[in-house]
């Protein structure tokens, strides 16, 4: 959200809302209100993402508008996905702890209209043990 600090009638409202949310979440809530003086200098703070687990697959969907496909760097170690992307006006950096271990070599990703989707196959942690 872009706001102008000059004569903003909602400034007190946003401060109070953030204070109440901090009380409810133990001080971890950040409204991500972008101010004009900010100039987009806070990398990673605007990213919105969802993680889905369905039919043996993990799917991460992230909203990262304003970057070119070639400017997106994805890394996964099987437990955590790192998204690093930059465009002319903003930068994104996010580490996503995946709900289960995944096979990072099974990853596939698409980027279309500012929406990044990354899919993984769930890693089978169990192994057959031969009894002799």
* Residue 1 pLDDT exceeds 70: no
Q: Which residue has the tokens 């200098």?
A: 41
Based on the domain organization, do 12 and 58 belong to the same domain? no
**Per-residue pLDDT tens for 36-88?**
334 444 444 558 899 999 888 999 999 999 899 999 999 999 999 999 999 88
**Per-residue pLDDT tens for 10-31?**
777 777 887 787 777 776 555 5
Based on the domain organization, do 24 and 64 belong to the same domain? no
The pLDDT value given to residue 129 = 64
Against a cut of 0.75, is the pTM above it?
no
Q: Write the secondary structure of 61-108 as one string of H (helix), E (strand) and C (coil).
A: EEECCCCCHHHEEEEECCCEEEEEEECCCCEEEEEEECCCCEEEEEEE
Q: What token pair was written down for 129?
A: 């043990």
Q: How many domains does the chain have?
A: 2
Is 78 domain-assigned?
Answer: yes
Give the three-class secondary structure for 13. Answer: helix
Is 127 domain-assigned?
Answer: no
For residue 31, the enclosing domain spans 1-39
- Burial (0-12, 13-18, 19+ Cβ within 10 Å), 106: middle
83, 64 contact by CB (below 8 A): yes
Based on the domain organization, do 79 and 14 belong to the same domain? no
The pLDDT value given to residue 38 = 40
Give the three-class secondary structure for 47. Answer: coil
Is 129 domain-assigned?
Answer: no
């Amino acid at each position: 959200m872009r706001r102008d600090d000059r004569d903003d009638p909602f400034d007190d409202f946003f401060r109070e809302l953030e204070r109440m949310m901090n009380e409810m979440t133990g001080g971890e809530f950040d409204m991500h209100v972008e101010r004009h003086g900010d100039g987009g200098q806070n990398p990673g703070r605007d990213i919105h993402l969802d993680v889905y687990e369905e039919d043996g697959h993990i799917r991460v969907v992230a909203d990262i508008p304003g970057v070119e496909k070639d400017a997106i760097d994805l890394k996964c170690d099987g437990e955590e996905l790192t998204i690093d992307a930059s465009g002319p006006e903003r930068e994104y950096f996010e580490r996503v702890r995946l709900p289960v271990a995944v096979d990072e070599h099974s990853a596939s990703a698409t980027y279309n209209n500012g929406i990044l989707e990354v899919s993984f196959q769930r890693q089978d942690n169990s192994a057959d043990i031969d009894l002799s």
